[in-house]
Structure 1
Amino acid sequence: MDLKQLTYFVTVVEQMSFSKAAHILHISQPSLSNAIKNLEEEVGFRILERSTRNIELTESGHILYKRAVRILLEMKIVEKEMQEVRMIGNGELRIGMIESAKHWIPKVIRQYEDEFSDMQLLLTEVLSGENVKRSLRQYKTHFIITNQLIDESDIVSIPLYKEKLVLVLHESHPLAAKDSIGLQDLQHEPFIITSAGFQTREDVLSAFASEQLQLQIKYEVERFETALSLILENLGVSLMPENYLADRHEKRLVHKVISSPSLERTVYLTYMKNRYMAPAIRVFLDKITRFFS
């Protein structure tokens, strides 16, 4: 007994006609009659009483019909669920990101929500290069927005945009009143920098090294929010991504663009090259790339 036989049987019962059922099923009437006969042989009893004028279910046929309808309904539900799985996976989208992406990614999410309101989005910070690779390879995230160039054969890195690292200092700091500031003006300032392993730290150190300048590191932090809290107490200065500051309107914080070509970086979209992603997840990837095209 298989699903095709049950489908044939249920269709015959619902139509109460072999000819009408055969037309609906797109098979010949003799083929349908043989299929029902084979089903009766398999179950070991007659399920339909046939006459020249009508068809009736036997007592045993009634029981089989009820079971068959239930089984076929369950299969339709399974087919629908599998179509949804193909479209949206398990209904969960896990995104890794750097802090400065918070400025624009809600705009992409708003567009996405209009099409996939049932998808659950999990946003996590993934900052260092090693953590980016580990998170992708262990399938902890579907993709990551990072300022790290991940040059690995199994990982795709798509450049999205460039952003500057800008100087942030307290409004009462003497440098806040200057129109033009260079890195040489910062080499004796108590500096707040991200911890080892973070790309922003490497960018800052590289910029100072390119001008053969020393940096007086006073505080090391993991989050820009911590750096801002120190700056608000006028405990030091820092360089951080301009996008991170885009929605900050704290008047005590002054932002200054430094005249140094080294203080610009690229932000990338990264994901595993050969990983299967449901179409609903691919749509989000496409929306990100179109957002910056």
Structure 2
Amino acid sequence: MKIIQLEYFIAVVKYNSFTKAADFLHISQPSLTNTIKKIEADLGYDLFLRTTKDIKITEKGIHFYNYAVQLVQNYHQTLEKMYDLNMGHAPKIKLSILESSNQWVSQVVAMHQKQYQDQTYLASEVHDQSTILERLLNFENHLGLTNEQIVHDDIHSIPLYEESYVLITPKDTFPNRNKVSIKSLPLILPTKGSQVRKHLDDYFNRLNIHPNIIIEADRFEASTNFVHRGLGYAIIPRVYYQSFNARDLDAIEIKPTLSRSIYINYLKKRKHPERVLSFIDLCIYYWNIKE
């Protein structure tokens, strides 16, 4: 069975239609139908139940689909890694970053590229710590930033800096910042499930505060845009307040103070190229000179 056959099958499931899948794949419908029949013959069971009106995936088809998706993803990831090994180019440095770290990471990349002018990078925002760990253990990323320490025998987890959370408001909304209470303010908070939201929920629970949450947003950029519109007040990490998007807003320390630590993480057993180790050192150096 070939990868292209699996991709054909995945397209049929995605569009729930042979006609639409064939259009997407730029092949004829009879050719697609014959491919699916060939897969079913090789497997010895039906993947779809077909009627004159529609198609439905079978229970075995669902299990096969899950395996097919994983196989196709692994295939393309492997191809990318093989291309990265092209001797004419240095492999990409692949890192997972936090939204709040975009600005300083870009400065570190600029510093690093002065030393390695042919270096390329792949940066992706990942906020789920288990996903970051999985990518490191599977050799998918060279390093990852987290807002909590990763405790794992195979991972170096090094603290970079500590930052407080701040309340951001339109300019001059609160002349006396020392008397601002978040208890009754209309708040814009990160969505449930994020690590930042967990920090904030724990904070509210400790202080027996029932926050007036009017908007939940999955990015700090969205939260600050809502503040710009006068829709409420957002709680964000202080480092993000330095970003372009948070200009023309005030940042007020919340009291009692709530803070978090940012860690850089990488795999112990991986033989990292000198360029990757240099990048890690630059991240640490950046925050050492900041302090």
SS at match of 1:104: helix
Shift of 1:241: 0.9
Q: Is the 8 A contact 1:164 1:241 kept in 2?
A: yes
Q: Give the whole-Å Cα distance in 1 for the aligned partners of 2:259 and 2:244.
A: 20
Which amino acid is 2:116 matched to?
F
Q: Is the 8 A contact 1:180 1:258 kept in 2?
A: no
**Who is 1:289 aligned against?**
284
2:271 to 276, 279, 287: 276
**Who is 2:104 aligned against?**
104
Q: Give the whole-Å Cα distance in 1 for the aligned partners of 2:179 and 2:235.
A: 12
Change (3 A) 1:272 1:109: same
Change (3 A) 1:161 1:88: farther
**Who is 1:169 aligned against?**
169
SS at match of 2:235: strand
State, as a whole percentage, how many aligned pairs show the same letter. 24
Count of residues in Structure 1 that have an aligned counterpart in Structure 2: 205
**Who is 2:12 aligned against?**
none
CA offsets, 1:10-55, max 9 Å, x none? xxxxxxxxxxxxxxxxxxxxxxxxxxxxxxxxxxxxxxxxxxxxxx
Change (3 A) 1:276 1:209: same
Per the normalisation by structure 1, the TM-score is: 0.64
Q: Give the whole-Å Cα distance in 1 for the aligned partners of 2:267 and 2:142.
A: 8
**Who is 1:178 aligned against?**
176
Specify every segment of 5 or more residues in structure 2 that has no aligned partner in the other structure, as ranges.
1-84
Q: Give the whole-Å Cα distance in 2 for the aligned partners of 1:156 and 1:250.
A: 32
Which amino acid is 2:192 matched to?
A
Q: Give the whole-Å Cα distance in 2 for the aligned partners of 1:89 and 1:197.
A: 39
Change (3 A) 1:243 1:140: same
2:200 to 197, 201, 204: 204
Change (3 A) 1:227 1:88: farther
Q: Give the whole-Å Cα distance in 1 for the aligned partners of 2:246 and 2:263.
A: 29
**Who is 1:246 aligned against?**
242
SS at match of 2:244: coil
Shift of 1:253: 1.9
Q: Is the 8 A contact 1:194 1:220 kept in 2?
A: yes
Which amino acid is 1:259 matched to?
K
**Who is 1:192 aligned against?**
188
**Who is 1:222 aligned against?**
218
Q: Give the whole-Å Cα distance in 2 for the aligned partners of 1:194 and 1:148.
A: 17
Shift of 1:170: 2.4
**Who is 2:260 aligned against?**
265
Q: Give the whole-Å Cα distance in 1 for the aligned partners of 2:275 and 2:216.
A: 39
CA offsets, 1:243-278, max 9 Å, x none? 1111337665221112323x1110100112212211
CA offsets, 1:68-96, max 9 Å, x none? xxxxxxxxxxxxxxxxx7x9995210111
**Who is 1:122 aligned against?**
122
CA offsets, 1:225-253, max 9 Å, x none? 01011111111111101111113376652
Larger radius of gyration: 1
Q: Is the 8 A contact 2:172 2:250 kept in 1?
A: no
1:213 to 209, 214, 234: 209
Which amino acid is 2:282 matched to?
K
How big is the alpha-carbon RMSD for the aligned residues of Structure 1 and Structure 2? 2.6
SS at match of 1:141: coil
Specify every segment of 5 or more residues in structure 1 that has no aligned partner in the other structure, as ranges.
1-84
